[in-house]
Amino acid sequence: MSSMAFSVGAPPTTRTDSDEYAYDIPNRSIRKPPIAEMKVLGGMTVTGNFNDVHRPVLLREVVDLLGSEDRFISGGLIVDGTLGAAGHASACLEAFDRAELFGIDQDPEILEIAREKLRPFGERARVTHGRISELSSLLQTAELGQPTGMLFDLGVSSLQLDQPERGFSFAADGPLDMRMDPTRERTAADIINNWDEADLADLFYYEGDESRSRSIARAIVQSRRRAPFLRTSALAELIAGEMGGGKGGKIHPATRCFQALRRAVNEEGEELLSGLDVAEEWLANEGVLVVISFHSGEDRAVKHFFAEGARRGRWRVLTKKPLAADRQESRTNRRARSARVRAAVRVRAAEASAPRGEGAS
Ligand SMILES: C[S@@+](CC[C@H](N)C(=O)[O-])C[C@H]1O[C@@H](n2cnc3c(N)ncnc32)[C@H](O)[C@@H]1O
C-alpha cells in the first residue's frame, strides 16, 4: 500500500450523537442468532460469529488508515485501547501479517470474548484488562517497545447495551449501574441520587445535549426525596414523563440523558484526553493514531488535539475532515451513522533535531 489521501464520504444521513444508542430500542431489527449458535463467554451470551453481536464500524477505513504508508510491512505493534470484541484488532492482524497487537479493555467480560476471538493469532496478540488512562503504565510493564499504530474506538459496545443487568439500557430494565469497568466505585445510581440539581442539569445539557435538562433534573431531585432511583426503568419512565411521553419522537426520550450519565460514570471525556496524551508520548516516529468517536464533543476534542499537534510539528493530520460511514454501512448498522474517524501521524523528527529545550516534552 502506498501513501494515500483519504477522502471524506458525504455524510449519508442526518447524524445525531444518539445514534450510538440505536441498538437500545425495543423490537430492534438486528438479527438474533438461533440458540444453537450461541455460547457463553465471560458471562455473556454471544454468537459463534462475534461480528454479529458487535459490528465494528468503518472497518475498511480503519485498516487503511493504520496501514497507510506500508507501516506494518515488516512488523510493528498495534495498540488497541478499546479492544471490545476485537473486530478491528483481528481485521488488522489479518491485514498486516507481521504486526503484533497489544489490546486492552476496561470491561473484563468483553475481554474474554476478545481473548477467544484472538486465539488463532497466538502470541501475536496480547490482551490485558485496563483503562486508557492506565495505558502508559501497562505499556511500560509489557515492555513491547514503541507502537507503530494506535486505535481508540470510543464509547459503548452493543454487547454492553444488550445486557440489561449492566444497566446501560433504557429499553430493558436493570440496575442503574452503567460501569464498563466493575472495579470503578461510582455507579449511575450514585450520580442520580446524590448530585445537586444544577450539576445533573449541566451533565444532561453539556454531555447529552438535552434541551430539557433543567426540568428533568428538577423532577429527578423531587422524586428521589420519596425513594432513591435503583432501576433503569424508573429513571427512563420519569424522564419520558417529563418530556411528555416523547410521542412521535425518533428516539426514546431518555436517550440523551442516559448517554450523558454513562459518559459521566465512565469518565469518558477524561479517558479520551489521557488517551491522546498516551499516543503522543508512546507512538513511534511515523506511527499513526486512529480515533473513532460517536459524540460531537469527543470529535471536537480529537480535532483540536490534532490541529494543535500539527501546529507544534508533532502530528501530520491524515483526515482533513472526519471520515463517516457510507450509505450502505449506515443502512445496515445504524450505530455507524454517528461514527466519525480521525487519524494523524506522529512526527518525531523535529523533536530529535531540535536544540535542547525546544520542542521537547
Ligand atoms: C465501541 S467498543 C469497541 C469495539 C471494538 N473496536 C471491536 O471491533 O469490537 C468500545 C469498547 O471500549 C471499551 N472502553 C471504553 N472506554 C474505555 C477506556 N477508557 N479504557 C478501556 N476500555 C474502554 C468498552 O468497554 C468497549 O468494550
Segment 167-205, tens digit of pLDDT = 999 999 999 999 999 999 999 999 999 999 999 999 999
pLDDT in tens, 155-164: 999 999 999 9
Q: Which residue has the higher pLDDT, 46 or 239?
A: 239
Angle between helices 135-142 and 268-282 (to 10 degrees): 40
Distance CA 163, CA 360 (A): 46
Give the pLDDT band of residue 359 (cuts 50, 70, 90). very low
Grid cell, residue 328, equals 450502505
How far is it, in rounded angstroms, from Cα 352 to Cα 146?
A: 16
Please name the residue whose Cα sits nearest to atom 13 of ligand 1: 82
Residue 251 pLDDT: 83
Cell of 44: 455473556
* Alpha carbon of 189 to ligand 1 centroid (Å): 22
Query: Which residue in the block uniquely carries the three cell numbers 510493564?
Result: 141
What are phi and psi for residue 317, nearest 5 degrees? -80, 130
52, 65, 80, 82, best to mutate for ligand 1 pocket (most atoms within 8 Å of CB): 82
Amino acid identity, position 313: G
Centre of ligand 1 from the C-alpha of residue 219, in Å:
32
Kindly list the structural domains of the chain, giving each domain's residue range(s) and its CATH number in brackets, ordered by start. Answer: 17-158+268-353 (3.40.50.150), 185-265 (1.10.150.170)
Gap from CA of 104 to ligand 1 centroid (Å): 8
Ligand 1 mutation pick, 60, 105, 270, max ligand atoms within 8 A of CB: 105
